[in-house]
Chains A and B, each alone.
Chain A
């Protein structure tokens, strides 16, 4: 555990000098956080093209993690009554109804060809466990930590409810529970991983839409699935969050989508909100040094005069 220490045993002086850039370049965030190397990074590949919207992931997550019920409100958003990820919804299945073209005349629809029919997209969303996790960067108490598996979790007994992480998350995942004050989110079932079990949601998923595993292997699997879909005439299929070169350094939980990310309520180009922090710090440091230098210079310049 790295606690409140800046990750990787880096000192404030290092940060002032180099910013966060060296950390961001490291492929192994767990090791970068000071964990013993050797434990491969794990994550989720959620293939929404085979999601049947059963919500078993939502229920299994709540059962395992004792996440409370989150209100009985009919939202009218298709079959989605849990609305989005939050303190009490760590897996969330989105339902997107896309009416067929030419819906005016039901008899005039194309002869059942894919693309001509109505689409009902279903996708199970979850914390992305970012390679560059802003929530973790901004947490002042060290409640948010990077685990040895490369995942990001909140330690409930340390969180003080400051909420910095909430505004820092580029996906709007982490949230404070109003009646409690502390922040909660998916732990990727940290307590199951330690016992060699897969997370509850992946275990419950009947169609292998949620796949758990070592991230490198998941990325290979996803590339293969994408190619298969493209070959079989689903050109809209795309991967989301799997690219280590993206604004968060790639997600530990990434997705195969059948439409633009915005359609699913996902940001199209997420950027770690602490990305500019080093530059800002550098500028602040330069400003401070300049000020200090100016001060020194002014004294240096003034010295002889006074002496005079």
Chain B
């Protein structure tokens, strides 16, 4: 966190100054470790074993917050008899279709609920050839990310519960059994963490959790960029649920983002499978009408039951008066999913010649995405490419100076791709908002006009749309109606005709039938009388005031600081904060009081905006058949969940299992010590089979020893992601001027590497070179009885800029988490050898030689 989020880390330092203990879990000793009380080095890719070990400690030592667990989690729910755990099936859950590589989640359901037909079956009526990555069904390919604001739906019915938590099939007992073999010894075996160090973490964590104390977990892409990334976070959620650390001050699970508004880019998404506010993008086959879409995607209880109001209001924001009840509010105008259109599927489509045009807006996949070579080869197969960035990044210049030009794979005169570079304005050159990881919107104002041809993204999108609409004007083709009927009337100003960003904010906030700004999403209607560009942002322009622009200093307001910026939903700073009070509505402790039930006024009250129906009595019980928010009791704090509970066990919503289980990374030098099943059985690899994307033998398979080390990629404070914002700047480039790899003195001695000399790092995909930094901060670990050396690789470099170097991500395979299609770049088996890499075609030959030595074919690593 100190490395990548130094500004945010000031608050950790402030907490530390007040006595907080800071534990840092990372393969390397980083700037964060330097300031932490405890540093826990572990093997990259082993965190579920580590977190599972903590969960096992909490359960077997009775360290959980029992009252919280019984009342607020689904620990007491009884599971269907059909459910079989990884303990029963040696590493897989019930419902696995080995052939089609997907789980039918039917058997993961609570007892007593009517079962819905599973997603895989529902998708069978999709058109053939629906896309590269839909082996698991479009429904699954597209739905993993749709839970950014609440969980998946549940079938109708009343689940059975056992509040004594003794029923052998209740979630609590299933959990206990599932994690029973995640012992300190197993943690040592898999992660390389000594038991005494592990015990210290267990003690610090549990001593600091309960009625009076809370612990926060903070993670970033070190947890997510794995073939089981989502399950890492699930493991953290289980731990925090058991410890009662959700919805309470000082608790939570904080996702640190890689860019200033990554949270914003999923809220108002840049993802193929989402509409604003986590409304799923409709399917081509299963969401044929608005009714069908709502029926399939809405929940019956909780606030997601009101999904129709959110969706209709969005359609009204898009198409205004053209959207009427008679025409399904133009639901047919929305694009439909026919398969996975994630970034990696798009690359495969480029390579296959199906994808002809590509927009890159502030993204540098030639450096930042997994398997850079395939990214560049894909772009070389396009008809046209538009790059909008601050400087000429590698994704705009690969045709001139990319590694494939040097290797002779590509010749500049032969490349037919027409590349358009559009210089972009920086955030200081435009108005707009950032949404940070606390879901807080903060406004920024133009400080200077953009120089030269640089323009804001808003300018680009607005004027591009305006010009296209002008070209289509008068068209009678039905296909053009969605564009021509769009509300596209933003006021512009100044010499550049810059659209008014605040007008966009007002549209996002939404308006009532009189055109006046709405103040809360509870005002949204399903009859078309309200419009709202993103239901969770409703209220950000309440009263016609730009709420994100508020900057009242913290010292002039309460410690919650509600008047600094604006946080969705409804300006709540801590989600699910009903959980900060006990079932009767009293704070669990005075020290951790946040919101509480004011019986005299018959309302919830407190420091933060209560995340609950304001006047719902804590003892309210829903009548039979109640739906929506009224379907949840007064003691169900998790109001975006279909049952109002924190899910220790996920009966729906995940495609790779209801519980986290440790699987080895796609390419790993180790066998799975816990199960026969080596890898996540439903990870996404088969759609990316390509000669340029070969996988490696793992564990005990022959050839695995060709790649004996584990590399992990990361960022340095001095640079920003793929380098477009930092390698072009002398003041930053000089602080970390060259690509380097970090190795321990022992690895240096073993591999013959010299400090400040060169090393070549090789995987089945690429060979890259880096200067060698020998440092004690890299710790060899004892894993499964043998010494493991890890290699640290900052991934900022590429072929252009003030500071250049090879790209670490060229080493990575396209092997993805099946829920959210994120690439595994945090744990890579590799080899490292002294000296510079070969030049020209010999570079590819070196990789081919490694493939031969390891016996790699197109089938390697493709096992279920």
Instruction: Please list the residues of chain A having a beta carbon within 8 angstroms of any beta carbon in chain B.
Output: 50, 52-56, 58-59, 62-63, 69-74, 76, 78-79, 81-82, 97, 99-100, 103, 106-109, 111-112, 114, 117-122, 206-208
8 A-B pairs within 8 Å (CB atoms) are namely: A52-B32, A52-B35, A71-B734, A72-B737, A74-B771, A79-B31, A111-B197, A207-B13
Known: A72-B803, A111-B200. A55 touches B735 (CB 8 A): yes
Q: Mark B661-702, 1 if CB is under 8 A from A, else 0.
A: 000000000000000000000000000000000000000000
Closest 6 CB pairs of A and B: A69-B730, A72-B737, A54-B6, A120-B34, A99-B776, A112-B38
Known: A52-B34, A72-B802, A106-B782. A100 touches B776 (CB 8 A): yes
Supplied contacts A55-B718, A59-B732, 4 more A-B pairs, CB within 8 Å = A76-B756, A97-B777, A111-B199, A112-B38
Determine if A78 and B775 form an interchain contact, defined as CB atoms under 8 angstroms apart.
yes
Determine if B737 and A118 form an interchain contact, defined as CB atoms under 8 angstroms apart.
no
How many angstroms between the C-alpha atoms of A82 and B779 in the bound complex?
26
Determine if B756 and A112 form an interchain contact, defined as CB atoms under 8 angstroms apart.
no
Interface presence of B864 (CB below 8 A): no
Determine if A111 and B196 form an interchain contact, defined as CB atoms under 8 angstroms apart.
yes
How many angstroms between the C-alpha atoms of A121 and B34 in the bound complex?
7
Partner of A54, one of B31, B39, B196, B199: B31
Q: Mark B519-533, 1 if CB is under 8 A from A, else 0.
A: 000000000000000
Interface presence of B397 (CB below 8 A): no
How many angstroms between the C-alpha atoms of A63 and B729 in the bound complex?
11
A9 to chain B, nearest CB (A): 42
Determine if A74 and B740 form an interchain contact, defined as CB atoms under 8 angstroms apart.
yes
Q: Mark B173-205, 1 if CB is under 8 A from A, else 0.
A: 000000000000000000010101101110000
Instruction: Please list the residues of chain B having a beta carbon within 8 angstroms of any beta carbon in chain A.
Output: 2, 6-7, 9-10, 13, 17, 29, 31-35, 37-41, 192, 194, 196-197, 199-201, 716-718, 730-738, 740, 755-756, 771, 773, 775-777, 779-782, 802-803
Interface of A is mostly: loop
How many angstroms between the C-alpha atoms of A48 and B735 in the bound complex?
19
Partner of A118, one of B9, B773, B776: B776
How many angstroms between the C-alpha atoms of A70 and B38 in the bound complex?
36
Determine if A82 and B735 form an interchain contact, defined as CB atoms under 8 angstroms apart.
yes
Partner of A97, one of B196, B776, B780: B776
How many angstroms between the C-alpha atoms of A70 and B802 in the bound complex?
13
How many angstroms between the C-alpha atoms of A63 and B755 in the bound complex?
32
B21 to chain A, nearest CB (A): 10
Q: Which residue of chain A is the closest to B2 with respect to CB atoms?
A: A52
A140 to chain B, nearest CB (A): 33
Partner of B777, one of A54, A112, A118: A118
B69 to chain A, nearest CB (A): 28
Determine if B38 and A81 form an interchain contact, defined as CB atoms under 8 angstroms apart.
no
Determine if B6 and A206 form an interchain contact, defined as CB atoms under 8 angstroms apart.
yes
Chain B positions within 8 Å of A62 at CB level: 731
Chain A positions within 8 Å of B38 at CB level: 112, 117
B758 to chain A, nearest CB (A): 11
Q: Which residue of chain B is the closest to A52 with respect to CB atoms?
A: B2
Chain B positions within 8 Å of A52 at CB level: 2, 6, 9, 13, 31-32, 34-35
Known: A55-B717, A120-B29. A72 touches B780 (CB 8 A): no
Determine if A112 and B200 form an interchain contact, defined as CB atoms under 8 angstroms apart.
yes
Q: Which residue of chain A is the closest to B204 with respect to CB atoms?
A: A112
Determine if A79 and B6 form an interchain contact, defined as CB atoms under 8 angstroms apart.
no
Chain A positions within 8 Å of B33 at CB level: 118, 120
Chain A positions within 8 Å of B802 at CB level: 72
Determine if A103 and B6 form an interchain contact, defined as CB atoms under 8 angstroms apart.
no
How many angstroms between the C-alpha atoms of A201 and B595 in the bound complex?
40
Most A CB within 10 A of own CB, among B199, B717, B781: B717
How many angstroms between the C-alpha atoms of A97 and B34 in the bound complex?
10
How many angstroms between the C-alpha atoms of A109 and B17 in the bound complex?
26
Q: Which residue of chain B is the closest to A54 with respect to CB atoms?
A: B6
Q: Which residue of chain B is the closest to A80 with respect to CB atoms?
A: B735
A43 to chain B, nearest CB (A): 22
Determine if A120 and B731 form an interchain contact, defined as CB atoms under 8 angstroms apart.
no
Determine if A74 and B756 form an interchain contact, defined as CB atoms under 8 angstroms apart.
yes
How many angstroms between the C-alpha atoms of A50 and B9 in the bound complex?
11
Known: A50-B35, A54-B31, A74-B737. A109 touches B194 (CB 8 A): yes
Chain A positions within 8 Å of B733 at CB level: 69, 72
A208 to chain B, nearest CB (A): 8
How many angstroms between the C-alpha atoms of A199 and B197 in the bound complex?
42
Determine if B31 and A122 form an interchain contact, defined as CB atoms under 8 angstroms apart.
yes
B787 to chain A, nearest CB (A): 9
Known: A72-B803, A120-B31. A59 touches B731 (CB 8 A): yes
Determine if B777 and A120 form an interchain contact, defined as CB atoms under 8 angstroms apart.
yes
Q: Which residue of chain A is the closest to B740 with respect to CB atoms?
A: A74
How many angstroms between the C-alpha atoms of A72 and B38 in the bound complex?
34
Determine if B6 and A56 form an interchain contact, defined as CB atoms under 8 angstroms apart.
yes
